Amino acid sequence: MSRENVDVLIAGGGFAGLSLAVALKQALGPAFAVTVADPALGANHGDDERASAIVAAARRLFETLGVWDAVAGQAQPILDMVVTDSRLDDAMRPVFLTFAGDVEPGEPFAHMVENRDLVAALTAKARKVGVTLIASGVESIAHDGDRVVATLKDGRDIAARLLAAADGARSTIRAQAGIATHGWQYEQSAIVTTVAHERDHEGRAEEHFLPAGPFAILPLKRNRLGHRSSIVWTERTAEAARIMALPDDVFHEELERRFKLHLGDIKAVGKRRAHPLGFFVARAFIAERIALLGDAAHVIHPIAGQGLNMGLKDVAALAEVVVDAARLGLDPGGPEVLERYQRWRRFDTMAMGIATDGLNRLFSNRSDVLRLVRDVGLGLVDRVPNLKRLFIREAAGLVGEVPKLLRGEVL
């Protein structure tokens, strides 16, 4: 088969890959060829039960890319957040921290969006702006002069000046580029499902720190099933496997023990899925003509709902350095461009990874001493308005050297 030439080939059409494709194509126009290859393109994402907390900075990126309007109708603003720390069967769950209000007037610090809605909106936008979409995966890579050549599973060769690896946590490209990772598996899995409840959640997110790990109730937009929330329920791996195998009525009892009845009667209305949890960061984010982004570069604990948001920071930073280079007539896959990307993202990623790992260790245990430490800490944050405001802005992705797209500026 003949070889096709493009400027940037993106392996992986998840949130990170598609967002990068749209950002590059919108900024650089028809003369700059961008292709996304992913075997899952065009597949049905209907059984992905996950929903993601899209923080304010990430929402600004989607708005700038012209994708937000397509999901805004189904996006539920988080208007209020409550954090508790208790044992599983405690009758009372003392509240240690509450977050309410906006990062800027009228701008909530996050929205809950269902993953399938976001992937559908990004795919439609990519098609509209002229990204070439190929429903096949990258099988192997080789270097040929100033190109990296990817051979796809369908047999075709694509030569690119830059290969962006957005091919997820088990990235083939990361492995083939010889990039190792630091990290470990947690002995925890997250059970995800959707729960319908009698009463309105009023935009409130809840995170209950239980000894096995956090149990999060995240508000979703009301639909034909009524009032709904997405559940991210962390358990030790063996316990998660037991819970996943329970018949519906016993599963319901376990769910109710954790959810409680403050929103009235509840009913699991989505499929259950269990995700094993781990933490890793790639030892390098770049190799010759290759940049890693999203879960291919880092996976963190979902305790703070920041995994995808970190991937979108990679997207915004990589898009900015590539667009700057292309406009100056420089090689978008050249070493200076890639070094700039790596400097920008790697330290920030390590810092967030270590913070979420520390949070998980501090909260997912039975120690009374640690319980006292964390409750005093949370209580302090709750009482010092400036500290709390800083926490909200940090969680919203608006602190540090924020790339343009996350500030809502076009490239």
Ligand X SMILES: Cc1cc2nc3c(=O)[nH]c(=O)nc-3n(C[C@H](O)[C@H](O)[C@H](O)COP(=O)(O)OP(=O)(O)OC[C@H]3O[C@@H](n4cnc5c(N)ncnc54)[C@H](O)[C@@H]3O)c2cc1C
Nearest to 185 by CA among 245, 237, 243: 237
Tokens 């292309």 -> residue: 326
Nearer CB in complex with ligand X: 60/371 = 60
Closer to ligand X by CB, 131 or 232: give it.
Answer: 232
Shortest Cβ 218–ligand X spacing (Å): 7
Q: How near is the Cβ of 262 to ligand X at its closest, in Å? A: 22
The identity of residue 245, as a single letter, is A
Q: Are strands 76-78 and 147-152 parallel, antiparallel or unpaired?
A: unpaired
Residue 116 vs 267, nearer CB to ligand X: 116
**Nearest-approach distance from CB 383 to ligand X, in angstroms:** 27
Q: Specify whether the backbone of 124 is left (phi greater than 0), alpha (psi in -120 to 50) or beta.
A: alpha
Minimum Å distance from CB 16 to ligand X? Answer: 4
Q: Is the CB of 192 or the CB of 371 nearer to ligand X?
A: 192
Task: Please check whether residue 404 is in contact with residue 411, taking contact to mean a CB–CB distance below 8 angstroms.
Answer: yes
* N-to-C CA span, the chain: 36
**Cβ of residue 233: shortest distance to ligand X, in angstroms?**
9
In single-letter form, the type of residue at position 398 comes to: L
Other CB atoms within 10 A of residue 143 CB: 12
Whichever of 13 and 333 has its CB closer to ligand X, that residue is 13
Question: Minimum distance from CB of 196 to ligand X (Å)?
Answer: 19
Of 156 and 275, the one with the shorter C-beta distance to ligand X is 275
Q: Please say which residue, 258 or 275, places its beta carbon nearer to ligand X.
A: 275
Within 13 A of 31's CA, how many CA atoms are on the CB side?
5
CA-to-CA distance for 112 and 203, rounded, in angstroms?
10
Give SS3 for 362: helix
Alpha helices in 9-89 (DSSP H): 15-28, 56-64, 68-72
Shortest distance (Å) from residue 347 CB to ligand X: 19
State in angstroms the smallest separation of the CB of 297 from ligand X. Answer: 8
Residues binding ligand X (CB under 6 A)? 11-17, 37-40, 50, 52-53, 137-138, 166-168, 172, 190, 192, 232, 275, 294-295, 302, 305-309, 311
The dihedral of CA 308, 392, 354, 162: what is its sign? positive
> Which CB atom, from 190 or from 396, has the smaller least distance to ligand X?
190
At residue 113's C-alpha, the angle toward residues 39 and 309, to 5°, is: 75
Residue 159 CB coordination number (10 Å): 18
For 135-154, the DSSP string reads S--EEEEEEETTEEEEEETT
Give least dist CB 36 to ligand X, A. Answer: 8
Q: How far apart are CA 218 and CA 194, in angstroms?
A: 9
Q: Which is nearer to ligand X, 217 or 371 (CB)?
A: 217
220-232 burial code (b ≥16 CB/10 A, e <16): bbeeeeebbbbbb
